[in-house]
Amino acid sequence: MKKISLAVAVFILSCGAARADNTGWYAGINAGASRTGMSGSDINGALANQGVPGASTKLHTTDKTVGFEIGNRMSNNFAVEGGFVSLGQFKYEATSPSGPVNGKYKAHAVSLSALGFIPFTPNLSFYGKGGFQYNTADLSASTKTGNSESRTGWLAGIGLRYDFEGSLYTRVGWEHYAKVGQNGSTGGGAIDLFQVALGMRF
């Protein structure tokens, strides 16, 4: 009887350990809201360099974001992750001595990051992330062909991840993309993302 009880206890503990192990490869999609730190004056400078001087611009600083992520959680406390994200398409309207100008400031990025996890329970973890991203920003104008700039910047983020029983996970978080775009060409600044992700471990 004691041997049976011991075997049952070992089995229960081993099952609990398996559920607590959320390591391995994973991939997911994310979506949410984005906010640029730029203002209308940043667009004014870029338009001036495109041959539209004296513009006064209203920039819409919020939009939607969507992307995907793929990573390897090497332990319950550490992961390496790559991703692609659309940082948003921010509309603007400008008036100038030569007439009205309308367009969009849009950007996307690829990234490589390291993530550190602090598990609260076998399923719920707090995470922080940091890494590098390569972004491309485009400024379109109704009266000009527009400009495009690519550059490297850093990123940081924090959030919560929940691993369901089975293979699914979800997470919610904030990410900060620095040095997006280029001052004087497309306009430049940071973009913040507020995202929810759904993915699968495999």
For residue 134, the domain's CATH number is 2.40.160.20
Decide if 20 is inside a domain. no
In a domain, 4, yes or no: no
pLDDT of residue 18: 40
Q: What is the pLDDT of residues 143-168, one digit of tens each?
A: 776 789 999 999 999 999 999 999 99
User: Beta strands of 37-143 (E only): which ranges?
Assistant: 56-59, 62-75, 78-95, 101-119, 124-141
pTM: 0.86
Q: With contact defined as beta carbons under 8 Å apart, do 146 and 103 qualify?
A: yes
Position 142 in a domain: yes
Tokens linked to 154: 């850093």
- 154 forms bridges with which residues in the sheet? 132
Q: Is residue 8 part of a domain?
A: no
Within a domain: 18 = no
Over residues 101-129, the pLDDT tens digits come to: 999 999 999 999 999 999 999 999 999 99
Domain membership of residue 138 (yes or no) is yes
Joined together, the tokens standing for residue 8 give 């049952």
User: Does residue 164 form part of some domain?
Assistant: yes
| Total number of domains constituting the chain | 1
Dist CA 7 CA 151 (whole Å): 59
- 60-91: b (≥16 Cβ within 10 Å) or e: ebebebbbebebebeebeebebebebbbbbbe
Q: Are 190 and 156 in contact (CB under 8 A)?
A: no
Domain range for 129 is 25-201
Query: Which residues, 6+ apart, have CB-to-CB distance to 117 below 8 Å?
Result: 73, 76, 77, 78, 79, 125, 126, 127, 161
Q: Is residue 194 included in any domain, yes or no?
A: yes
- Predicted confidence at residue 49, as pLDDT, reads 86
